[in-house]
Copies of this chain bind each other. A is one copy, B any other.
């Protein structure tokens, strides 16, 4: 299977290094960053691309763009991991549309395009007989979309709820365990690289809300947008409220929830018993699906990180190969 990787930041590099190290029967025919691209339809020497990037800051020929890669390289699957604006979904959206239209499978780690345009993109994929996969967009390494779409296939999903943002979870964990103030915990999260310089997106619940929109539209067939999500973040939570909760063996977590009966999406801090399955620690994510047949199924794992994101993308890639392998 031949793949093209567009975007050569930490996730793109992670994917390339896994393929370089493990093989997995995958040939990388193109790698692009924002300023250059390397194309070799007989298979790139991945290590050389790494060396070029390290030496010159460019992964290949200057002036070649991701668009050129999609038009000119020979590949079956586009791995789209470009830096993309979550609000507009661009430039990822354009690349994804172009690749699907050309009959290429697409895997993306960008939330924007999936949250904004899933119905359109899915239709485009179906028309062209190809797959659009996006496991990495929700809860990193946790195979939550696979489990909901396939592991619980045949089930009616009644509710999906859980911890969708590791940054908030880290802050709340530290505030409860170490009696830190919100500002102190946020500062610590920044220093450890768990929070961005501008943490608004995470701490105000927007990141979790976007993940709910993705699950709602892709797994449940809804047509929701960010505006449909009731959102409250963790910025008003005080250390005192966590200490008080703790005295009763309770704690606070930022919980995202899809109530399927009411088609309601919301993100808000919730008080939970300390021994509740969803009370995970540090940067972990945890999601429970409540279903008619299987009951409650919970998945817990790492929701972020470039290797974890790469893990989800590689799993999507091997899944596409499995789906198409039978017909070869």
Q: Give the interface of A toward B (CB within 8 A).
A: 18, 22, 24, 129, 135, 141-143, 146-147, 150-155, 274-275, 277, 280, 291, 293-302, 307-308, 310-312, 314-315, 317-319, 322-324, 326-327
Contact = CB atoms under 8 A, between A and B. Distances in A.
Give the interface SS of chain A, mostly helix, strand, loop or mixed.
mixed
Contacts of A293: 18, 141, 307-308, 310-311, 314
A218 B314 CA distance: 20
Contact of A154 (B155, B275, B315, B323): B315
Contact of A297 (B142, B150, B275): B142
A143 B154 contact: no
A150 B311 CA distance: 11
B294 A277 contact: no
Contacts of A150: 143, 146, 150, 315, 318-319, 322
A154 B22 contact: yes
Contacts of A295: 141, 301-302, 308
**How many chain copies?**
2
A153 to B, nearest CB: 4
A4 to B, nearest CB: 18
Given A151-B147, A311-B154, A315-B150, A300 B301 contact: no
Contact of A153 (B129, B308, B319): B319
A294 B150 CA distance: 20
Contacts of A24: 154
- Residue among A297, A307, A310, A324 with the highest chain B CB neighbour number at 10 A: A297
A301 B129 CA distance: 35
A246 to B, nearest CB: 13
B327 A308 contact: no
Contacts of A312: 294
A18 B154 contact: yes
Contacts of A296: 301-302
Contacts of A324: 326
A324 B293 CA distance: 25
B297 A298 contact: no
Contacts of A307: 293
Contact of A152 (B143, B152, B310, B317): B143
A315 to B, nearest CB: 5
A317 to B, nearest CB: 8
B300 A297 contact: yes
Given A323-B323, A327-B326, A143 B274 contact: no
Q: What 6 A-B pairs are tightest by C-beta distance, nearest first?
A: A143-B151, A141-B294, A154-B314, A293-B311, A327-B327, A297-B301
